[in-house]
Structure 1
Amino acid sequence: MQLTDPQRLDWLRLIRTEGIGPRSFRSLINRFGGAAAALEALPDLSRRQGRRIEPFSRAQAEDEIAALARLGGRLLATGEATYPRLLQLTDAAPPLIALRGAPQILNRPSVALVGSRNASTAGLAFTERLARGLGEAGLVVVSGLARGIDARAHKATLQTGTIAVMAGGQDRIYPASHVGLVDAILGEGGAVLAEMPMGWEARGRDFPRRNRIISGLAYGTIVVEAARQSGSLITARYALEQNREVFAVPGSPLDPRAEGTNDLIRQGATLVADVDHVLDVIGPIIERGPDPDAAPARQRPDLAEQPDFWDEIDLEGRASLLNGGADPDLVFDAPVVEPDEPMDDRQKIIALLGPSPVGTDELARSAGVGARVVQTVLLELELDGRIERHGSGAVSLVSR
């Protein structure tokens, strides 16, 4: 299938109409035979629902397509040859997704690699090693452009292939400090995807929405560091729903950043301590191809149910908009903002330390500071009894 320009415009108008999500979009298309007919039927649906459903205007849709084109992007539709095949197999695949970059990378074999924004130096170092190994094995690495694990995964695979999935619109990169990373991804033949409209500032509910795209693009999802109740575990939950593999990197039981990953392993996720642990599982799946209807062949982690984070209209008129239960720690309707003040060097170094020993050179590289600054901060922490020194100059935080 290849949409004509008028059809693509109608698809955009329909999916941008308030209250219509991926599932209800598909239902409307199936019921009325196309987006144009579905748009014409919306007034009648409005009367049955007892509420006004105002279609996204043609002018708004044309403006969005033009703005995306000015950035060098375009909209891909489900069913088109360039649309990611693995993502299309999922239940709630975006009918349209905005692409900047190389479309051919979207259908190469890929693995998702996600984890903590507040990552430890050890976690970042292992992420880089793992991502490089996956890239050298021919796999594209997918992640969410966040700080910490995501950013390190993207940077490590710029030359072998990486896909970034954004929570906001293509012109609203979050965090703003990753504008340069996006440019590097595009410059090296990677791709940047966004489901949300141009001009859309990422909100709390948009990150779980984005996560089901990250997992849907990949044969499996690897979680490197994740606290309990973290967004990375939501990505793992979506991977399970999509009948994809889940992997987890073990961590110290003394580090809260490893609680979620250790739980995943205990519940059946594949333990990853080397790139071969991923390749041994993913390789046979790539050879035979994904089967969304196949029963899982291995034990799967039993993750708690998470709500859906996109609005749907009820075509049978039995319910109002589905807003889903919300994590009280997430402000779903507020834009996500970055901290006003960046961390100082001491705060950066402390945040990167954990119970696992790390070398001072790696610590300096991860913090982006000089070796002398690291040694000064470590001396202060040692005098305060907060770190322990190990052989070969490695250090770790003392658990309290």
Structure 2
Amino acid sequence: MTQAPGHGQTLPQAEAFARIRLLRSPNVGPVTYRQLMARFGTAQSALEAMPDLAARGGGRYRVAGADRVSAEIDAVRAAGAKYLFEDSPAYPALLREFPGAPPILTYRGDISFFDRPAVAIVGARNASAAAMRMAWEFAAALAGQGRLVVSGLARGIDGAAHEGALSAASGGTCGVIAGGIDVVYPSQHFDLQQRIANEGILIAEQPPGVEPQARHFPSRNRIIAGLCAGTLVVEAAPRSGSLLTARLADEAGRQVMAIPGSPRDARARGCNELIRDGAVLVQEPDDVAELLDGFTGNPRSHFREEAPEPFVHAATAESEADSDLDIAALLSSAPVSVDEIIRLSGANTPTVQMALIELELAGRLTRHAGGRVSLTS
């Protein structure tokens, strides 16, 4: 059996292999992975139980093949990369605390950069020259102070932030790849990505060989936000990925900062709206440093909360009190929080969580951001 290369792991190779196999199995994301590990103790035990769980949820199930996992491990090794498991001492502490953090990452580069305080710098792909220069200058200054500058390797602001951080004598940067660790995207960042691997650190959640797709970018954005005590948005359009990163950071209690721009420039509207909604306005790198030095989890930024969407279900009070309530009957195609399902069902949390896992493994349940679930369309 091919062994899984990792960073300083005391984890037995068989269990490391089983963990990769568990995470690569159908309908298993970070939330389900952690719940299965908590319930069964080891990945191997979880793998053995999954077909029965899916059957109870009304479906058939086959775990990821061992040959597929062996091929993935070979590809990770061929790329000069290693695995990083969430219970490794080297796994970034702030990311471990982030909701839905990846249980397993692959990386290339110097993992000791994760010991540095990290700040995310993100923004528009079609950024103005002035904004790109500002991103470069902020990144160079913050990296020069010994911080790790994190971004997503996209064109525009992301690329400028990586370049600026690498220009600092003591600089370091982390590039979060939307695809696999061996995939270059965009193609014009081939040299930049190689340089980050040599002088900083590259990380990826997706298996090697996976080309970035639209659904991968929100997942990448949550990693960027999760790695850092604060996220700085330099220039962004409304409803952009950069604003999603900022919102995710805010939801996790991290600092959100934005550089204001002209109200006449559409590319500045996202930043201006962030500031209006509670992000901290910054104008100099020292403003960022002041906000993040000694950050204790109480950000100055505070976004206005939107009223939660009401969840109305046809279930009657009698059915809510029924201990044999079918959890699937409480679900629809509209996402609803797991907490609401627990409340309406009257069942205890472990019972509801296991029922949701059974439905998910059977292919009947979809998980959404914010701890919400729905029936699969």
- Which of 37, 46, 59 aligns to 2:54? It is 46
- Which of 336, 360, 366 aligns to 1:322? It is 366
- Which of 92, 115, 118 aligns to 1:84? It is 92
User: What amino acid sits opposite 2:223 in the alignment?
Assistant: I
Q: Is the 8 A contact 1:313 1:322 kept in 2?
A: no
User: What amino acid sits opposite 1:216 in the alignment?
Assistant: G
- Which of 38, 49, 53 aligns to 1:30? It is 38
CA deviations 1:144-174 (Å, max 9, x no partner) are 0000000000011115000000110112221
- Which of 209, 228, 232 aligns to 1:199? It is 209
Q: Distance in 2 between the 1:2 and 1:19 partners?
A: 28
Q: Is the 8 A contact 2:253 2:299 kept in 1?
A: no
Q: Distance in 2 between the 1:5 and 1:303 partners?
A: 45
Question: Match of 2:191?
Answer: 180
The secondary structure found in structure 2 opposite 1:36 is helix
Q: How far has the Cα of 1:303 moved from its partner?
A: 7.0
Which aligned pairs between 1:226-375 and structure 2 lie closer than 5 A? 226-285=236-295, 291=297, 296-302=298-304, 314-315=356-357, 317=359, 320-322=364-366, 324=368
Give the direction of change, closer, same or farther, for the CA distance of 1:264–1:133 in structure 2 (3 Å limit): same
Q: How far has the Cα of 1:118 moved from its partner?
A: 0.2
The answer to whether residue 136 in structure 2 is matched with residue 134 in structure 1 is no
Give the direction of change, closer, same or farther, for the CA distance of 1:79–1:323 in structure 2 (3 Å limit): closer
Q: How far has the Cα of 1:55 moved from its partner?
A: 0.8
Question: Match of 2:29?
Answer: 21
- Which of 209, 222, 225 aligns to 1:212? It is 222
Q: Distance in 1 between the 2:14 and 2:268 partners?
A: 49
Q: How far has the Cα of 1:216 moved from its partner?
A: 0.6
Alignment RMSD, CA only?
2.1
The secondary structure found in structure 2 opposite 1:138 is coil
Identity percentage of aligned residues: 43
Q: Distance in 2 between the 1:180 and 1:303 partners?
A: 42
Q: How far has the Cα of 1:317 moved from its partner?
A: 3.5
Q: Distance in 1 between the 2:66 and 2:163 partners?
A: 39
The secondary structure found in structure 2 opposite 1:315 is helix
Q: How far has the Cα of 1:268 moved from its partner?
A: 1.4
Q: Is the 8 A contact 1:313 1:320 kept in 2?
A: no
Question: Match of 1:337?
Answer: none
Give the direction of change, closer, same or farther, for the CA distance of 1:204–1:54 in structure 2 (3 Å limit): same
Q: How far has the Cα of 1:7 moved from its partner?
A: 1.2
- Which of 114, 119, 123 aligns to 2:127? It is 119
Give the direction of change, closer, same or farther, for the CA distance of 1:79–1:128 in structure 2 (3 Å limit): same
User: What amino acid sits opposite 2:186 in the alignment?
Assistant: P
Q: Distance in 1 between the 2:183 and 2:293 partners?
A: 36
Q: Distance in 2 between the 1:137 and 1:323 partners?
A: 40
Q: Distance in 2 between the 1:297 and 1:270 partners?
A: 9
Question: Match of 1:349?
Answer: none
Q: How far has the Cα of 1:298 moved from its partner?
A: 3.2
Q: Is the 8 A contact 1:313 1:321 kept in 2?
A: no
Give the direction of change, closer, same or farther, for the CA distance of 1:313–1:161 in structure 2 (3 Å limit): farther
Q: Is the 8 A contact 2:280 2:300 kept in 1?
A: no
Q: Is the 8 A contact 1:237 1:303 kept in 2?
A: no
Q: How far has the Cα of 1:323 moved from its partner?
A: 5.6
The answer to whether residue 108 in structure 2 is matched with residue 106 in structure 1 is no
Question: Match of 2:314?
Answer: none
Q: Is the 8 A contact 1:21 1:313 kept in 2?
A: no
Question: Match of 1:58?
Answer: 66
Q: Is the 8 A contact 1:113 1:223 kept in 2?
A: yes
Question: Match of 2:11?
Answer: 3
Question: Match of 1:330?
Answer: none
Q: Distance in 2 between the 1:238 and 1:161 partners?
A: 23
The secondary structure found in structure 1 opposite 2:273 is helix
TM-score by length of structure 2 reads 0.79
Q: Distance in 2 between the 1:313 and 1:103 partners?
A: 38
Q: Distance in 1 between the 2:163 and 2:355 partners?
A: 40
Q: How far has the Cα of 1:5 moved from its partner?
A: 1.5
Q: Is the 8 A contact 1:314 1:320 kept in 2?
A: no
Unaligned stretches of 5+ residues in structure 1: 326-400
User: What amino acid sits opposite 1:224 in the alignment?
Assistant: V
